[in-house]
Structure 1
Amino acid sequence: MSVQISALSPQTRAQALTDLAERQFDVLVIGAGVVGAGAALDAASRGLSVALVEARDLAAGTSSRSSKLVHGGLRYLKQLNFSLVFEALRERSLILKTLCPHLARPVEFIYPLERKGIDRGYVGLGIGVYDVLGAGKGVPSHHKHLSKRKTLETFPDGKKGHIQGAIKFYEGQLDDARHTMMIARTAAAYGASVATSARVVDLVREGQRVVGAVVRDLETGHDITVRARTVVNATGVWTDDIQEMLGGKGSFRVQASKGVHIVVPRDRIKSKTGLITETEKSLLFIIPCPWSEDFWVIGTTDTPWDLDKAHPAASASDIDYILEHANALLEKPLTRADVVGVYAGLRPLLAGESDQTSKLSREHACVSPVPGLVIVAGGKYTTYRVMAKDAVDEAAKQLPGAVEKCCTDKVPLIGADGYQALWNTRARIAERTGLDLARVEHLLGRYGSAISDLLELIDQDKNLGEPLESAPKYLKAEAVYAVSHEGALHLDDILARRTRISIDTWDRGDGAAQEVAELVAPLLSWDAEAIDREVGHYRTRVAAERESQEQLDDLTADAARLGAPDVRVGAG
């Protein structure tokens, strides 16, 4: 089967729901985060019939709220978990070089040294081993020791009397939400039926065997019984919720850990590279923003979370923690007034003996607690493809006949084929389209070779080639394309995940909400009342998030965030 440029549109969603009701699938995947989308692509590319259902939006949870890094994990090296580091570095190489070079790229970092002598030997040894393990795996693998003077040339805003030097090395980065969406689109191109706003409310069983699920269409409230030979639970922090449908806890427990990041303007920190350092709780990253040269992404925290899983709230304490540790390296401290955006996500960790989430397992587990059901949980973003492979391998054991081996290490995502040639000819694209070169580079880094679809929309309606008035980094066509090709059903999907307007504009998308809603209304059959409802919901969400970020602790922050109900009824 050859892959086609596939659109996820309101029409393809409607067809997917029809398929869910009428067909029996080899594999039903629950959850369209990166692992679930990856499992759908893995199964579909083996020739299996696949359905992928998601209660909210593609990458709506953890998979849109990471550090945006593709990395082996220096922390795991410190824990002497060489196998996990090597596996992640191998996957980093595949992501950067084969699967999605249009979305992922190498990024240079320094690790500032704060103690004379001790840090250079200790950190240098660790990064040296990291480089050896990662040799040839997608990024330059020659780390370099920098003197204090060279460090401050690279990082002019470094704290002069504090930083004693640095070690320079490379990692990979990508925009996680767009990456996950592209995986789901690629799965659809290989035949998977993909439906968002489709929440599993029960499992269907025949005796002890799971034979499908009851799926509620949250746009209409209608329930659909989906028949499947195997079901894969890839719901991350919701794993235990699905396990409860079996009447028990299942094979393992998942502990949610909250990670918070802030977004600040690029000109507030003068540095030629990103920065990584270690705090008492986690690693702290100051990362060049992967989707815009105008910002830094700074994080993260690592604290237990047992409150609302759909909308984890960042508190004032979380933001202050990040600012405090970033400021330990900066000559000119950041303040709350510098924060453009904030986001919080939950890592699904396999529970261990320690209550400290930083010590829980980042490895993944894949089990079949009853016939017909496979559960995959844990892991890290970079190794999503391995987790997906293991889940489908386990499901394949329960399917009749022989099942083809995994081939996703050789399956480029939509937009990857032809990307390099288009990048090389980007000046001609700019000349032909009338778009400036920086805009074409921005589009190629978001759509790859699928840029042709976007440019076709602009050819049909020249107005779509204009920037959004309140978010001029994005074209009007990008908002329309998010609905016509990328599966967005609600304003929140467009502003928070297909674009990053919700965290890279000072008003967090408040101003763009009305303009974008009116642009996409014809595609989603929204009348004036529906537009008002979508815009009102989005602005209420922004207000609730701002209020939560003024609260001192998780409990009060969670209560404030819950002041904005989910736009998808019953999706929480």
Structure 2
Amino acid sequence: MANPTWLNDDTRARSLDRVAGHTVDVAVVGGGITGAGVALDAASRGLSVALVESGDLASGTSGYSSKLVHGGLRYLAKMDFAVAWESAVERRWLMERIAPHLVHPLAFVIPDARSAPAWEGLAAGFGTVLYDGLRRASGLRSSVLPRPQLLTPAAVAALAPALDVAGLRRGYLYWDGQLVDDARLVFAVARTAAGLGAHILRDVRAVAVGADRVDAVDVRTGAPLAVRARTVVNATGVWAAGFDPALTVTPSRGTHLVVRAERLGLPHAAHTVAVPGHFGRYVFVLPQPGGLVYIGLTDEEDRTADGHRPPVPEHDVEFLLGIVNATLAVALVRDDVVGAFAGLRPLAEAAHGDGFDGTADISRRHLVTDVPGAPITVVGGKLTTYRRMAQDAVDAAAARLGAGAGVGAGIRPCRTRTLPLVGAAGPAQLKSLAAPPRLVAKYGTEAVHVHRLGQEERILREPLFDGTDITGAELLFGVRAEGACTVADLLERRTRLSFVPEDAQKARERAGEILAMAAGK
């Protein structure tokens, strides 16, 4: 019997047939984290759901974030307490109940340089104490995210060897959540929704969106598709204003550089660098699985870039290198940058107004618009708060459905705060799984299935190329269970090999072979 959470070409075909002949309660437009969250929330309340996405899941902003699940230290600095509190609460649910297999603690070092005014270091230390207060108030235990600490320069060097510790007074250590992969969170949310009956339709492009109908086109065949629904939710992120003329969305480009971890001394912790002249704005140096480090991010308005894969301008590279090099013992040079990626944040400018510091000063609060005769729109926010965004959008949809003739009587209240995603389990169960820890960190309880796939054939067992641990089994699972159907899907989102073009090129031929194997069942 097929796993009901799996997404692949067969489940897509069945969903297309079903949606073409039936009216659903909720149609969702957009397959990023917000749209997937809306689909899951609605399906978990007992509503019938169809989600349409023009390309691959997580192919827009949701796949190109900093991969952090954070309580919002920068929002405290900006005195945006509402966003900081909402972020802290949602971080708790993600780390304890929803996705403990995908979100892990990450240590952050704030270096206190002697060259900076003493008050800046004291303010940073006080901020970590306040931040920990948010953690405690949210109910997240210190056994999940430890308390902050004061560090000696020697302790800073042990955690972040590339820092120039000779010029430090001290360091401050705090902890936050890090996703093993942001795209993997989107897949898990969408698959959990599918397991509850939601129809997840990738490669279906919406061309017109109304209050009770989505006119779309099957990108693969060119065939038209009318999705009839009792209510429609627009969750298209930076494209949201295209379906809601009353809305203004400001796209903000967030760029990250990719360097090899060896170049930074194989750091055990992230570190932050304050952006001079911009209080509360930081650049992060973020260690990643697989021997890489991401350096980001920028916050620049960009109304012309393609939201699926915005190009990285050279001045973004220069800006990030310039900021981070101010803290390093040996400066990074352009050749150390082995890759770069960017995403466009959808900031709801009409709701919150612009700030003194451009897009960096626009609040990260989300916006839900509910105008009679138009689709419900949910936009803004941040990856950490996707669940709350979805809850608010589905609350609005449920109110509309409840106003119908008996439709809303059986709608259950939101239950996604404590609804585990596919693969989720507690630490004890995850440690007991008969699979390599690397797979467990990526797939949770499903690591056992991926590991068994690797035993079937040599091509599935072996790493894709020398220098990576990623195997053919992971690619095959990406096709069978996670909706991948092209080599680009496999290299860009089921793995993140595309973040280092040299590595992606090495894996391209093997990815094609795995794709052909999957097509042959």
User: Is residue 184 from structure 1 mapped to residue 181 from structure 2 by the alignment?
Assistant: no
Q: Distance in 1 between matches of 2:135 and 2:168?
A: 27
Q: In structure 2, do the counterparts of structure 1 residues 124 and 186 end up closer, same or farther at CA, with 3 Å as the change threshold?
A: same
Q: Distance in 1 between matches of 2:502 and 2:318?
A: 20
Look up the match of 1:320.
Answer: 318
Specify which of 334, 355, 359 is matched with residue 357 of structure 1: 359
- 1:214 alignment partner AA: D
Correspondences of 1:288-437 after superposition (within 5 Å): 288-289=287-288, 291-292=289-290, 294-307=291-304, 308-351=306-349, 352-354=353-355, 356-371=358-373, 373-399=375-401, 400-402=407-409, 403-417=411-425, 420-426=427-433, 429=434
Q: Distance in 2 between matches of 1:156 and 1:473?
A: 25
| Cα deviation code 1:120-173 (max 9, x no counterpart) | 321111111111111242543421122334333433322244332211010000
Percent identity among equivalent residues? 37
Specify which of 140, 157, 160 is matched with residue 137 of structure 1: 140
Look up the match of 1:556.
Answer: none
Q: Secondary structure at the match of 2:226?
A: strand
Contact map agreement 1:57 1:488 (CA 8 A) in 2: yes
User: Is residue 128 from structure 1 mapped to residue 118 from structure 2 by the alignment?
Assistant: no
Q: In structure 2, do the counterparts of structure 1 residues 222 and 367 end up closer, same or farther at CA, with 3 Å as the change threshold?
A: same
Q: Distance in 1 between matches of 2:340 and 2:121?
A: 33
Report how far residue 466 of structure 1 moved.
1.6
Q: Secondary structure at the match of 2:307?
A: coil
Look up the match of 2:99.
Answer: 100
User: Scaled by the length of structure 1, what TM-score is found?
Assistant: 0.83
Contact map agreement 1:5 1:414 (CA 8 A) in 2: no
Correspondences of 1:552-567 after superposition (within 5 Å): none
Contact map agreement 2:55 2:203 (CA 8 A) in 1: yes
Q: Distance in 1 between matches of 2:157 and 2:476?
A: 44
Q: Distance in 1 between matches of 2:74 and 2:468?
A: 38
Q: Secondary structure at the match of 1:348?
A: strand
Q: Distance in 1 between matches of 2:230 and 2:15?
A: 18
Specify which of 471, 475, 481 is matched with residue 475 of structure 1: 471
User: Is residue 199 from structure 1 mapped to residue 205 from structure 2 by the alignment?
Assistant: yes
Contact map agreement 1:229 1:372 (CA 8 A) in 2: no
Contact map agreement 2:4 2:194 (CA 8 A) in 1: no
Report how far residue 4 of structure 1 moved.
6.2
Q: Distance in 1 between matches of 2:270 and 2:33?
A: 25
- Measured on the aligned residues, the alpha-carbon RMSD in Å equals 2.0
Specify which of 251, 254, 260 is matched with residue 249 of structure 2: 254
Look up the match of 2:494.
Answer: 498
- 1:91 alignment partner AA: E
Contact map agreement 2:71 2:87 (CA 8 A) in 1: yes
Report how far residue 5 of structure 1 moved.
5.5
- 2:333 alignment partner AA: T
Q: Distance in 1 between matches of 2:25 and 2:147?
A: 46
Contact map agreement 1:25 1:227 (CA 8 A) in 2: yes
Q: Distance in 2 between matches of 1:519 and 1:153?
A: 41
| Cα deviation code 1:56-81 (max 9, x no counterpart) | 11111110100111001112101212
Q: Distance in 2 between matches of 1:125 and 1:142?
A: 13
Q: Distance in 2 between matches of 1:65 and 1:453?
A: 27
Look up the match of 1:552.
Answer: none
Specify which of 474, 484, 489 is matched with residue 488 of structure 1: 484
Report how far residue 524 of structure 1 moved.
4.0
Q: In structure 2, do the counterparts of structure 1 residues 19 and 372 end up closer, same or farther at CA, with 3 Å as the change threshold?
A: farther
- 1:84 alignment partner AA: V
Contact map agreement 2:368 2:378 (CA 8 A) in 1: yes
Report how far residue 469 of structure 1 moved.
2.7
Contact map agreement 2:399 2:408 (CA 8 A) in 1: no
| Cα deviation code 1:37-57 (max 9, x no counterpart) | 000000000000001111111
User: Is residue 263 from structure 1 mapped to residue 258 from structure 2 by the alignment?
Assistant: yes
- 2:443 alignment partner AA: Y
Q: Distance in 2 between matches of 1:315 and 1:500?
A: 21
Contact map agreement 2:454 2:473 (CA 8 A) in 1: yes
Q: Secondary structure at the match of 1:106?
A: strand
Q: Secondary structure at the match of 2:212?
A: strand
- 1:458 alignment partner AA: G
Report how far residue 468 of structure 1 moved.
1.2
Q: Distance in 2 between matches of 1:370 and 1:513?
A: 49
Contact map agreement 1:471 1:501 (CA 8 A) in 2: no
Report how far residue 515 of structure 1 moved.
1.6
- 1:411 alignment partner AA: L
Q: Distance in 2 between matches of 1:336 and 1:487?
A: 36
Correspondences of 1:141-156 after superposition (within 5 Å): 141-156=146-161
Q: Which moved more, 1:51-60 or 1:447-456?
A: 447-456
Q: In structure 2, do the counterparts of structure 1 residues 451 and 152 end up closer, same or farther at CA, with 3 Å as the change threshold?
A: closer
Look up the match of 2:439.
Answer: 443
Look up the match of 1:557.
Answer: none
Q: Distance in 1 between matches of 2:502 and 2:160?
A: 29
Report how far residue 9 of structure 1 moved.
1.1
Contact map agreement 1:198 1:218 (CA 8 A) in 2: yes
Report how far residue 483 of structure 1 moved.
0.7
| Cα deviation code 1:425-464 (max 9, x no counterpart) | 25xx25xxxxxxxxx1111111111123323433443541
Q: Distance in 1 between matches of 2:207 and 2:396?
A: 23
Report how far residue 370 of structure 1 moved.
3.1
Q: Secondary structure at the match of 1:494?
A: helix
Contact map agreement 1:371 1:398 (CA 8 A) in 2: no
Count residues in correspondence: 498
Q: Secondary structure at the match of 2:454?
A: helix
Look up the match of 1:237.
Answer: 238
| Cα deviation code 1:205-227 (max 9, x no counterpart) | xxxxx221111111111110110
Report how far residue 82 of structure 1 moved.
1.6
Q: In structure 2, do the counterparts of structure 1 residues 312 and 257 end up closer, same or farther at CA, with 3 Å as the change threshold?
A: same
Q: Secondary structure at the match of 2:254?
A: strand
- 2:516 alignment partner AA: A
Correspondences of 1:207-246 after superposition (within 5 Å): 210-243=211-244
Q: Distance in 2 between matches of 1:25 and 1:471?
A: 47
- 2:99 alignment partner AA: C
Q: Secondary structure at the match of 2:327?
A: coil
Correspondences of 1:154-173 after superposition (within 5 Å): 154-173=159-178
Q: Secondary structure at the match of 1:370?
A: coil
- 1:387 alignment partner AA: M
Look up the match of 2:404.
Answer: none
Unaligned runs of 5+ in 1: 205-209, 244-248, 431-439, 527-572
Contact map agreement 1:35 1:234 (CA 8 A) in 2: yes
Q: Distance in 2 between matches of 1:471 and 1:306?
A: 38
Q: Secondary structure at the match of 2:191?
A: helix
- 2:347 alignment partner AA: L
Q: Distance in 2 between matches of 1:454 and 1:446?
A: 10
Q: Distance in 2 between matches of 1:141 and 1:90?
A: 16
Correspondences of 1:73-84 after superposition (within 5 Å): 73-84=72-83
